[in-house]
Structure 1
Amino acid sequence: MDYGFVKVAAAIPHVLVADCFYNIQQIKGLIHKASEKGVQIIAFPELSVTSYTCFDLFTQQTLLRNAEKALLQLVDETGNSGILSIVGCPLVTENRLINAAVIFQCGKIVAVVPKTYLPNYKEFQEQRWFTSADDLNSDTIIIGNQSYPLGRHLIFAQDKIKIGIEICEDLWVPVPPSSLLAIQGANLLFNISASNELIGKHHYLRSLISQQSARCLAGYIYSSAGFGESSTDLVFAGNGIIAENGKILNESERFCMEEQLIISEIDIQNLQNDRLTNTSFSQENVGLSQKNYTVIPVTLPEFSGKLTRPIDPHPFIPSGDALNERCNEIFHIQVAGLVKRLLHTHAQTAIIGISGGLDSTLALLVAVMTFDALHISRKHIIGITMPGFGTTGRTYNNAVNLIHSLGVTLREISIKDACIQHFKDIHHDMNVHNVTYENSQARERTQILMDVANQENGLVIGTGDLSELALGWATYNGDHMSMYGVNGSIPKTLVKYLVEWVALHKVDETSRLTLLDIIDTPISPELIPADENGNIKQKTEDLVGPYELHDFYLYHFLRFGSTPSKIYYLAQKAFTGKYDNVTIKRWLHTFFRRFFQQQFKRNCLPDGPKVGSISLSPRGDWRMPSDAMATLWLKEIEGLE
């Protein structure tokens, strides 16, 4: 199965100025190479049959006649390839010269798209030679002895794949043709270009391509002229860029003197999902487009099934400097939300249950930053440690040490006696470590937090994260409940990095050492007594599965509406060598089973700030009946191999 992927390429051939037959041989070689790699659609630079820098040679009949002859030869000599090719060539129609993109496959020309916006400023003089698509009268063109569709309002389609084409300057105008093509359904946008290099221009170009792919919720494939173009006054670096919905997937080496073939895959399913959920996109402002668009059917080669684009195993965690920026921004969002809630409720204190685990640590750090921002003493934050039957010395000491080193008020309230009395009251044998045994402890802790908040005119700060909410790994009306949940839209895999970021950048050495040890502590609710050596016996990931897998499943399920089979396929690629197929399938089944079963907990969540693109708030991003059935999803998983 292709799972919605389309393999595309931006090609940069070596050209010689005005040597049409040399140029088509280079183009032909790249088409064959791309075909061998399973590429389905390939784009070449603007005017690549002749080269872009022919200038006044475009007025010479010898060049134009041989350009057409070379084009027809190229089409014929690639007749054994089903790849859809887009090549730039000057063509004559209506006694006018057009800067054209010629679309062909299987030895036949499909159609011709002329350039609309012709730059005529500074180093560009295209109006000296060419006519805009808007000034043409005919919607057909004769090449050789045959007539083909002509116009900028053409979309090439196969099922859900819709292809639109624009040329160079078309992208740089206020309303690019690709915007109108996207409104009409195009989800793969190709731009054949010959943009020269200037200081700072490349950075702007990358930004422009990225933003256009995001605005259009589309794949954007850009191929620009490279080595071989005239350097009389300009230099062309050979830019091949493939972007998808704001993210650049692959790009060429600039100033390379060799031909280049830039390949990646565009996920049409993800793009279609975004268009379905983004209702602003579906409100088509077709007033911008006064002309009907013609859809031309094409038949693409089958997808090879081999992905070249990387699949990030940790989609919530950016890499490099972007991670520092992400952490800083998240804390600002959390702090801003908590500041507003504290001021609105006139709360004088913040009450947080501190376990020595990652989530409560993150909530405490947010509270500390919030009180600092409000210029309120940290002593007004009450960190309560509540040792129970499963509390280990490591987590207890980390909780106490962190509270002290951050200058927060410490309270220690053991829950053991209260829980023992409760077990007597409900006639539960405390040697039976079942769900009653565990949940009683969680609810006792929540009762303490709520009652202390009443005593201290305080606000109970929730600690549960997005991953726990997805799996329902929380005690209903226990740790599930708070007065404001600052971590509710932060996945478990990201919590670790947020705490680490604070440890490395925001605290003294004592707090740093405690935070780093908290990061290294196994994730556990600590509701079951420790082992004979006093170590954590109840490890969450042994029970529900690795959080990095669940966060991967959650991201693709909620962000793109991906099917279990596609998530399974992507997970195999992302976690190659780390988890086998049996493990991936096992926890995928667990994820969907728990996700559907535990919706009732999410339907009554406390307020909390949305931080990323994914949230499970029942008031915003995710609304699902508590009694929805997982049957269809689980059945699909059972059929996976």
Structure 2
Amino acid sequence: MHDGFMKVAAATPKIRVADTAFNAREMIKMIREADRQGAKLIVLPELSITGYTCGDLFFQESLIRQALDGIKQITVETAVTDILIVAGLPLAIGSKLYNAAAFIKSGNILGFATKSFLPDYNEFYETRYFSVLEENTFINIDGKQIPAGPKLLFCAENMDALKISAEICEDLWAPIPPSTNHALNGASVIVNLSASDEAAGKNNHRRLLLRSQSGRSICAYLYANAGPGESSTDLVFGGRSSICENGVMLAEAKSFEESILYADIDLQRIIQQRRKTTTFRPQTGEGYHKIMFNIQLCKTPLDRIFNPTPFIPQTDAHLEERCEEVLSIQYQGLKKRLAHIGLKTVTLGISGGLDSTLALLVTAKAFDSLNLSRSGIVAVTMPCFGTSDRTYSNAQKLIASLGAQFREVNIKAAVTQHLTDIGCNIENHDVTFENAQARERTQVLMDIANQTGGIVIGTGDLSELALGFATYNGDHMSMYGVNASVPKTLVRFLVKYVADTAGGELKDILYDILDTPVSPELLPPNQDGSVAQQTEKIVGPYELHDFFLYYMLRWGFSPKKILRMAQHSFAGTYDEETIAKWLNIFLRRFYANQFKRSCMPDGPKAGSISLSPRGDFRMPSDAVIPKPFL
């Protein structure tokens, strides 16, 4: 379970109603198989040792005794495995019968969690057979006092993040599920043993409950549902076991199959999210009984899929929705700023690249929403030593297509004079040569904004801010940065979305911009006229950097863990050494350039991450850079 990952399983076994011997054998097969696959936790359905649909057979003493014998058989025959087992049974305590979940590990019954909410409506009539145990108690099993009750917390002695509690079927459907209190009292994993029958439309609601509860409780949620082996006298059970984590469905079984469902849960991710969420307020554990167990720590082979582009949804429908949301946030933020200061003009530099294109598109939408003429958008091109014909032409076409006011200021002479004034050899294409152009462009934009009574709209994106790939007091500065929380990988999709929805000439222009290599164009072009300076060859692939950025800031993961996840996600695209190299570069650049972010302009938060020092991210500019991890 290195890096917090742990393989877990939710199983729907083959059963025969009231045949506890058969059911125990089938459950043992599944437990052994899950153990071979490296799972450390397996949950089986509600009353799985007998079947949920036994009806009045639950009144038979022989069935109750056989159920406990079946649990004992499972305990003995799985003693050599290293897997925590949770299985359902009818449990007699004194004169009452309880719907319970047995926790079994290494040949021992650790405890029995009991159901709190018994359904007695529609097709359910559990109160006919079962009672509710209000407080924890103990039950004597073969001379051992075994804890039983609604508030049990099973804790791994050698893995502090692993704490498990159970709820049973209807408990999840209650207004305040027991799992809410379990989580607040430390449970990072909730198991649900269920026997939820099939009905038209029910599965979607059940799926919503599972995702919602795992998200609200910030936990992993394992749901094992009864399957086709249950009686079909009046109902049909379809299995459909599920594994969720913090609002996300990690895995879901097919309908009407008796199988084992696996997933890799991330306990570090759960704990980290709880630390960040101030409204998640842990309770004192009053009334809870902790049961300790040991588990062998090992490195879990990862089957979990990590989205290599975490800022970009994986389906077209979700991507379109995300693009519309982000664009709306961007232009609404700018709209509010312009309305507040009463301006009818803005200035921004247009290079023919993706970032300035997106900024111009957003500005046009803001002007439209304010019923302002787009001629108030002063779009300035500032060609210099590295400007290519392609980007220059696209900038002109884009400005004209959007109806903005076109202005051109060639800065070659000004930059040449400035470099001469400070004694810099113009043939020496060093950082001074590059930054002089960026700062001259910013000065031009600021002065034109003064001249026209407007403000300068910043074009830099989140990825550039993270890497510090911006000239201090150059393109780093503006009066409002509309792209400040939009990562580079998403910028491309936003521009493409506008292109596809706009159509016509604008679509053609935007598609050509999309096909242009990303470059600051601060170095003279190659002899064939092609761009000499390509950003991703300098700082590395943005898809890697956005992956690093997301998992470092959103989840607080260590470089070692991020490296492992990246190598898993980008296998076949980048080799392990290449990923490690760019991760080291990312970390060095991120820490070294905080001073630029400490004074960055205002800009709207559009996604889950922002580097604004006034908003999401506060970091000292002289924090120590992590040492290389290889």
- Shared fold, TM over 0.5: yes
Paired position in structure 2 for 1:81: 81
CA contact (8 A) 1:499 1:515 kept: yes
Paired position in structure 1 for 2:265: 266
Paired position in structure 1 for 2:110: 110
Give the 5 Å matches for 1:295-306: 295-306=290-301
1:215-274, Cα deviation, whole Å (9 max, x unpaired) = 111111111111111112111110211111111111100123xx2111011111111111
Paired position in structure 2 for 1:483: 479
Separation in structure 1 between the aligned mates of residue 61 and residue 299 of structure 2, nearest angstrom? 43
Amino acid corresponding to residue 270 of structure 1 in structure 2 = R
Task: Kindly indicate whether residue 136 of structure 2 is the aligned counterpart of residue 141 of structure 1.
Answer: no
Give 1:81 shift. 1.2
1:307-358, Cα deviation, whole Å (9 max, x unpaired) = 1111211111111111111001111111111110000111111211111111
Give the 5 Å matches for 1:48-127: 48-127=48-127
Separation in structure 2 between the aligned mates of residue 304 and residue 20 of structure 1, nearest angstrom? 36
Separation in structure 2 between the aligned mates of residue 373 and residue 547 of structure 1, nearest angstrom? 32
Give 1:145 shift. 4.5
Separation in structure 2 between the aligned mates of residue 304 and residue 625 of structure 1, nearest angstrom? 35
Separation in structure 1 between the aligned mates of residue 240 and residue 144 of structure 2, nearest angstrom? 33
Q: Which of 466, 474, 485 is the equivalent residue of 1:470?
A: 466
Give 1:304 shift. 4.7
Q: Which of 554, 557, 560 is the equivalent residue of 2:555?
A: 560
For structure 2, the 5+ residue unaligned runs are none
Other structure's SS at 1:551 match: helix
Give 1:440 shift. 0.8
Paired position in structure 1 for 2:274: 275
Separation in structure 2 between the aligned mates of residue 295 and residue 344 of structure 1, nearest angstrom? 57
1:557-604, Cα deviation, whole Å (9 max, x unpaired) = 101111111111111101101111111111111111111110000000
Give 1:204 shift. 1.2
TM-score, length of structure 1 as denominator length: 0.96
Separation in structure 1 between the aligned mates of residue 377 and residue 387 of structure 2, nearest angstrom? 22
Separation in structure 1 between the aligned mates of residue 568 and residue 334 of structure 2, nearest angstrom? 39
Other structure's SS at 2:145 match: strand
1:499-537, Cα deviation, whole Å (9 max, x unpaired) = 1111111x1321111111111111110000000011100
RMSD: 1.3
Paired position in structure 2 for 1:461: 457
Task: Kindly indicate whether residue 535 of structure 2 is the aligned counterpart of residue 536 of structure 1.
Answer: no
Amino acid corresponding to residue 10 of structure 2 in structure 1 = A
Give 1:480 shift. 0.2
Separation in structure 1 between the aligned mates of residue 211 and residue 129 of structure 2, nearest angstrom? 31
Other structure's SS at 1:429 match: coil
Other structure's SS at 1:622 match: coil
Paired position in structure 1 for 2:322: 326
Amino acid corresponding to residue 145 of structure 2 in structure 1 = S
Paired position in structure 1 for 2:234: 233
Give the 5 Å matches for 1:611-626: 611-626=606-621
Deviates more, 1:372-381 or 1:207-216: 372-381
Other structure's SS at 1:352 match: strand
Separation in structure 2 between the aligned mates of residue 508 and residue 97 of structure 1, nearest angstrom? 68
For structure 1, the 5+ residue unaligned runs are none
Separation in structure 2 between the aligned mates of residue 295 and residue 66 of structure 1, nearest angstrom? 28
Amino acid corresponding to residue 128 of structure 2 in structure 1 = R
Other structure's SS at 2:97 match: strand
Give 1:285 shift. 6.0
Give 1:199 shift. 1.6
Paired position in structure 2 for 1:380: 376
Deviates more, 1:149-158 or 1:45-54: 149-158
TM-score, length of structure 2 as denominator length: 0.98
Separation in structure 2 between the aligned mates of residue 30 and residue 544 of structure 1, nearest angstrom? 49
Paired position in structure 1 for 2:215: 214
Paired position in structure 1 for 2:2: 2
Give 1:195 shift. 0.9
Task: Kindly indicate whether residue 152 of structure 2 is the aligned counterpart of residue 157 of structure 1.
Answer: no
Separation in structure 2 between the aligned mates of residue 556 and residue 305 of structure 1, nearest angstrom? 19
Paired position in structure 2 for 1:44: 44
Amino acid corresponding to residue 572 of structure 2 in structure 1 = G
1:442-487, Cα deviation, whole Å (9 max, x unpaired) = 0111111111111112121111000000000000010000110011
Other structure's SS at 1:52 match: coil
1:36-80, Cα deviation, whole Å (9 max, x unpaired) = 100000000000000101111111112112112222112111122
Separation in structure 2 between the aligned mates of residue 303 and residue 495 of structure 1, nearest angstrom? 40
Other structure's SS at 1:109 match: strand
Amino acid corresponding to residue 303 of structure 2 in structure 1 = T
The sequence identity of aligned pairs, in percent, is 50
Q: Which of 364, 386, 391 is the equivalent residue of 1:395?
A: 391
Separation in structure 1 between the aligned mates of residue 550 and residue 273 of structure 2, nearest angstrom? 14
Other structure's SS at 2:262 match: strand
Deviates more, 1:550-559 or 1:145-154: 145-154
1:109-131, Cα deviation, whole Å (9 max, x unpaired) = 11100101101111111111001
Give 1:295 shift. 1.5
CA contact (8 A) 1:461 1:485 kept: yes
Q: Which of 567, 577, 588 is the equivalent residue of 1:593?
A: 588
Task: Kindly indicate whether residue 198 of structure 2 is the aligned counterpart of residue 197 of structure 1.
Answer: yes
Amino acid corresponding to residue 263 of structure 2 in structure 1 = S
Amino acid corresponding to residue 269 of structure 1 in structure 2 = Q
Q: How many residues align?
A: 626
CA contact (8 A) 2:100 2:113 kept: yes
1:172-225, Cα deviation, whole Å (9 max, x unpaired) = 112111110111111111111111112211111111111111111111111111
Separation in structure 2 between the aligned mates of residue 456 and residue 195 of structure 1, nearest angstrom? 67
User: Cα–Cα, structure 1 residues 304 and 586, in superposed 2: closer, same or farther, change >3 Å?
Assistant: closer
Task: Kindly indicate whether residue 585 of structure 2 is the aligned counterpart of residue 584 of structure 1.
Answer: no
Paired position in structure 2 for 1:608: 603
CA contact (8 A) 1:68 1:144 kept: no
Paired position in structure 2 for 1:634: 627
CA contact (8 A) 1:7 1:303 kept: no
Paired position in structure 2 for 1:370: 366
Other structure's SS at 2:414 match: helix
Separation in structure 2 between the aligned mates of residue 233 and residue 410 of structure 1, nearest angstrom? 74
CA contact (8 A) 2:6 2:300 kept: no
Separation in structure 1 between the aligned mates of residue 563 and residue 94 of structure 2, nearest angstrom? 54
Give 1:292 shift. 2.4
Separation in structure 2 between the aligned mates of residue 66 and residue 295 of structure 1, nearest angstrom? 28
Give 1:428 shift. 1.4
Other structure's SS at 2:113 match: strand
Separation in structure 2 between the aligned mates of residue 528 and residue 568 of structure 1, nearest angstrom? 33
Give the 5 Å matches for 1:238-257: 238-256=239-257
CA contact (8 A) 1:352 1:460 kept: yes
Separation in structure 2 between the aligned mates of residue 144 and residue 116 of structure 1, nearest angstrom? 26
Separation in structure 2 between the aligned mates of residue 459 and residue 26 of structure 1, nearest angstrom? 72
Separation in structure 2 between the aligned mates of residue 133 and residue 334 of structure 1, nearest angstrom? 54
Separation in structure 2 between the aligned mates of residue 126 and residue 146 of structure 1, nearest angstrom? 29
Amino acid corresponding to residue 535 of structure 2 in structure 1 = T
Task: Kindly indicate whether residue 179 of structure 2 is the aligned counterpart of residue 181 of structure 1.
Answer: no
Amino acid corresponding to residue 9 of structure 2 in structure 1 = A
